[in-house]
Structure 1
Amino acid sequence: MYTRRLHRRSRFRAGATLLAAAALLVSACSTGSATGAARSSAAQVAEPGDEAAVLAALPKATPSALAPYYGQKLSWRNCGVPGFECTTLRAPLDYDDPERGDVRLAVARAKATGPGKKLGSLLVNPGGPGGSAVGYLQSYAAVGYPAPVRAQYDMVAIDPRGVARSEPVVCLDGADMDTYTQTDITPDDEREADALVDSYKKFAEACGANAPQLLRHVSTKEAARDMDVLRAALGDERLTYVGASYGTFLGATYAGLFPDRVGRLVLDGAMDPSLPARRLNLDQTAGFETSFTAFAKDCVRQPDCPLGGPGTPPKQVGRNLKAFFDKLDARPIPTGDADGRRLGEALATTGVIAAMYDQAAWPQLREALTAAMRESDGAGLLVLSDSYYEREADGTYSNLMSANAAVNCLDLPPAFDSPEQVREALPSFEKASPVFGEGLAWASLNCAYWPVAATGEPHRIEAKGAAPIVVVGTTRDPATPYRWSQALARQLSSARLLTFDGDGHTAYGRGSDCIDSAINTYLLRGTPPAEGKRCS
């Protein structure tokens, strides 16, 4: 799905707007990564029920084969970034067979800034899967989290296995990624559908060739087990953690596996682990439509909206944008890009979706759409798309997209097995979002060609016996719909749901004093918000 961008606040290269990146969730982005479960359409869209398996807790005693990992001493060093120290954590490649070798995971820390007694370590994860938690800590969390929290906690981040500095999975080089991200995701005929399938196959084959062993061991469960090894190495009895978007799935998985080791957990912009991939993708498609409707209402109130004037209904605004996408599909427009890229439908769609994560990006989106629609200048939308994909000016990409696919395709069976299944499901996706539905349906196909079979299935997470856990949901969140936060809060036996009535992806640290105060109180005093607390 498009849950990719982690809550990491990456800065667009063409302006000062900050995008609260989302988590790369489950489906795929324009031609990005997808996940899903290949079952009948009816089963995929059905509501999850109590029949979903419950994630079982691991034994409390540490197996002797894992003792060397749990007992390791961390050797901290200067990482070249003022105020931070770094180290490497060893974890088994395969927890079921530790003798198969290690993975080495990058860890960074900013020591607590205040005097007096400290509360231990606060582990942070921005989402993804595929987002660098170390990068997030160094660029935002260690300075952007509230001062009282930073004063009493050592802020810590670990790049999950396969991500960024932790033995990254890399599939395509920059030139091939450019081709991949520009592939038509709304095929008009069999030839274009074959070209899209070929692009998914090429991506998957490259991942399999470049990381044949690691690709089998980058699941969320394994990453959660790595966090417990880190907890022990840090000397903390319990894990204190703030995870956003996909980071909520990682944190909830930790709670399910180690309920007795849960400290203070904040899960912001939650995922529902009980849903199969097709349902996750369909829900997220509807979430982007909800966010776009809010953008449309705001846009037509502005004097420079290129999608409609005052009073234009959101549905008509959507039709106008879709018509523009159709024009780009037939004839891409210039961008001024040094590598000669033109703005076609795929890149434009990604650019618009990138701005849905944070309403602070809406003015930038209006400006970019105005330039593209009225002046045939696609530079602004290309900037938004490149920021989403983490493409640098020199044409290189981070490993975000590769890691996103690697984790998603391992965690759940594919949403679709074939183009025929996508075509059968198109009406439901287009109903969920007339603007984005077609493209997101086709984007959900790529895990069908993954070289490694999925090891995970949809499941409930109850974490019985865990300390209170705070689940945060935003009512008009595009990437992690509010209903997912409600569902996870119902599953977790000790959860408190904290609701933000607003727009954008995630809520903590995004301007609501009510949300921030509630979470800060929980992190600093251990007091969760009152049952049913809502903020706006």
Structure 2
Amino acid sequence: MRKYFRGGMAAVAGVLVATSVVLTPTASAAAQADPDTQALAGALAKQKITWEECAFPGVAEETVKQFKTVKGLACATVQVPRDWHDPADGNTIGIRVSKTQTAFKGTSRQGIALVNPGGPGGSGLPWGPAMALRAPVLASQYDFIGFDPRGVGLSTPLTCSYTVPDSTDANVLNKAKVDGCLENPLTRFITTEQTAYDMDFIRVLLGEKKTSYIGYSYGTWLGTWYASTFPSKVHRMLLDSAVDASQSTLENTWDLQPRTRDRQFQEALLPFMARHDDKYGQGTDPMEIRRKWEKGGGTREFVGQLFVAWFVLPAMYDTSQYHAAASAVASVIDATNPVGTDSEKVEQVVAKMLTYPGLTDDNKAFIAKGKQNALNAIAKKERVAAKSTTAAAEVETWDATFEAIRCQDGQWNQNLHYWNYWLADLTVNAPFIAPFMETPLCAYWPTTNSMPKPDKKTFPRLLVAQSELDAATAYEGGLATAKALPNAKMISVDNEGSHGLFPYNTDCVDDPITFYFQTGATPRKQFTGCQAVPLPGEDTTFDVGGKLTNGKVKIKMITPAVKQANKIVKDLLSGSATAQADESGMPANL
């Protein structure tokens, strides 16, 4: 169902300048024409593009071989102004672009379609050939274009350095990281706003009057920004697994993320395990499985955190890996006292995972990758511990693209008391994922940037696709986007959790998207409801979460099942649930 890879759509284990420049007014852009990137770029619009064989760092060799079968695949680095607000200052940034030439010649060709997989900071370069392979019908009419956004991959990167403060206070450390990053002259230009201009300039360099676009996850935010700034240049646009673009910042999207991860764990993964007690031996009641998980320490213990980070959360992004995720949960429950070093404990639990029946070769490859990621995380942790603590006055360097984009796209709440409350609330209402969370760097990052508001008269017709239990971009955020954007139509997939839907391989989901890209026609109704495909090893789609009503899924963030699970955690931690809990040595309160 879900082909190739989903790298870069969102960070699985993570949670998502000085003054940023403002390229476009925050009010409606209706009073002026789209910015003319060809004129703004000056001599850069006449640059000679040297197309060459593509390299895709980090992509599996077998996948790269498939990419190279795509007709006309070639890559090039193009130069764009570093600052589209002041393009004549002479500073440029390199953007790595991939192109395909799969569209038939003649009147059936619809032009180009850019693709972004999300992040922020995901490499989009492989997604030109990937989409050509994933959507061959559309590839006969569109030449798919991939690109690494500024700050990402083979484009000009953004790294930041800071001097480590002589303090153990997390707020002092975070402020030092942000202040150090703001000293980098490149930082304030690594924004969605600037990337939207880069996208339009790619269109200009390729000689196209308009561009189509498919964006996943954060890529839906980028697509919305582009459509709001360059509405007349949009041909077709799909926002798949959408962030909440009804808001002026990305803060609400990240506020919803931990809660929707708790929701998918309780509403979908644990019921899946309960239906397969013959495989996992944890009982037929999802609540009892949750109780066992929490009695063993859950994500409050290092082993539980490690296996959730590298086995459970990635499977929430792609539910075809639910058997691997279920085996991870069952193994952690059963391995209550693994012995040895952290690495040896991982080896023991993974060995147990591989004993469960029904694992496919794809599941086993997924587990092998997760194991290596877990071991790498342990090695990194041990290297840091070996240094005791990083010495004060030592200079640390880090890849800052993810933080620079999400923090500079609109002002986040800067009140640290608010974030203390936010973290405390998560320990009660999202206890499964709360141990992973911390105050975001955006709480220390000033910006004046803001997405321009879409104009009802000019904003293009587009489609939004969203799954009910998406663990990265909550259904509530996608629904808010569909309601807020003029002329948007939404396709909801009930009982589905995967992040990134198209192509989904059901007529209900794929047909209206394909028809729209072919003709421009959107569904008659604003909301279309579709049913999920069965989970792996099942021939029935089970109803979980909310209810599909009038094309929309009606669901609460804290569902009755999640509320009951949260009470289990609270009771166990307070020592009031069972005698065994009293003997567990867990903290007495939240």
- Given the two structures, how large is their TM-score scaled by the length of structure 1? 0.74
Q: Tell whether the 8 Å contact from 1:126 to 1:132 is kept in structure 2 after alignment.
A: yes
Counterpart-to-counterpart distance in 1, 2:375 and 2:123: 13
Q: 1:434 and 2:434 equivalent?
A: no
Q: 1:134 aligns with which of 109, 125, 138?
A: 125
Name 2:58's counterpart in structure 1: none
Q: Which has the larger radius of gyration?
A: 2
Counterpart-to-counterpart distance in 1, 2:436 and 2:519: 45
Q: 1:345 aligns with which of 293, 301, 305?
A: 305
Name 1:60's counterpart in structure 2: 34
Q: 1:378 and 2:346 equivalent?
A: yes
Q: 2:487 aligns with which of 480, 488, 494?
A: 494
For residue 347 of structure 1, report the CA deviation from its aligned partner: 6.8
Name 1:190's counterpart in structure 2: none
For residue 512 of structure 1, report the CA deviation from its aligned partner: 2.8
Q: 1:86 and 2:71 equivalent?
A: no
Name 1:506's counterpart in structure 2: 500
Q: 1:520 aligns with which of 492, 502, 514?
A: 514
Q: 1:366 aligns with which of 326, 330, 345?
A: 326
Name 2:569's counterpart in structure 1: none
For residue 503 of structure 1, report the CA deviation from its aligned partner: 2.0
Name 1:291's counterpart in structure 2: 264
Counterpart-to-counterpart distance in 1, 2:295 and 2:264: 14
- Given the two structures, how large is their TM-score scaled by the length of structure 2? 0.68
Name 2:197's counterpart in structure 1: 225
Deviation string, structure 1 residues 306-341 (Cα, Å, up to 9, x no partner)? 69411232793596288232232xxxxxxxxxxxxx
Name 1:316's counterpart in structure 2: 290
Residue type at the aligned position of 1:378: V
Equivalence map 1:2-151=2 (5 Å): 9-10=4-5, 20-21=6-7, 23-24=9-10, 30-31=13-14, 54=27, 56=29, 59-60=33-34, 62=36, 64-79=39-54, 82=68, 83=70, 84-100=73-89, 101-112=91-102, 114=104, 116=106, 117-138=108-129, 140-144=130-134, 146-151=135-140
Counterpart-to-counterpart distance in 1, 2:281 and 2:28: 46
- Figure out how many residues of one structure are paired with residues of the other and give that number: 459
The 1:416/1:431 distance shift into structure 2, 3 A limit, reads farther
Name 1:357's counterpart in structure 2: 317
Counterpart-to-counterpart distance in 1, 2:212 and 2:42: 22
Residue type at the aligned position of 1:500: V
Counterpart-to-counterpart distance in 2, 1:372 and 1:199: 33
Q: 1:161 and 2:150 equivalent?
A: yes
For residue 21 of structure 1, report the CA deviation from its aligned partner: 4.8
The 1:219/1:315 distance shift into structure 2, 3 A limit, reads farther
Equivalence map 1:227-246=2 (5 Å): 227-246=199-218
Q: 1:406 and 2:390 equivalent?
A: no
Q: Unaligned 5+ residue runs, structure 2?
A: 17-24, 56-63, 162-166, 339-344, 351-366, 382-396, 532-590
For residue 204 of structure 1, report the CA deviation from its aligned partner: 4.5
Name 1:331's counterpart in structure 2: none
SS in 1 for 2:140: helix
Counterpart-to-counterpart distance in 2, 1:247 and 1:321: 39
Counterpart-to-counterpart distance in 1, 2:287 and 2:192: 41
The 1:386/1:492 distance shift into structure 2, 3 A limit, reads farther
Counterpart-to-counterpart distance in 2, 1:461 and 1:350: 38
Name 2:386's counterpart in structure 1: none
Q: Tell whether the 8 Å contact from 2:311 to 2:324 is kept in structure 1 after alignment.
A: no
Q: Unaligned 5+ residue runs, structure 1?
A: 1-6, 11-19, 34-51, 173-192, 329-342
Q: Tell whether the 8 Å contact from 1:464 to 1:494 is kept in structure 2 after alignment.
A: no
Residue type at the aligned position of 1:79: C
Q: 1:533 aligns with which of 523, 528, 537?
A: 528
Identity %: 25
Name 1:484's counterpart in structure 2: 477
Q: Tell whether the 8 Å contact from 1:169 to 1:207 is kept in structure 2 after alignment.
A: no
Q: Tell whether the 8 Å contact from 2:414 to 2:444 is kept in structure 1 after alignment.
A: no
Counterpart-to-counterpart distance in 1, 2:169 and 2:140: 53
Residue type at the aligned position of 2:151: G
Higher relative contact order (CA 8 A, sep 6+): 1
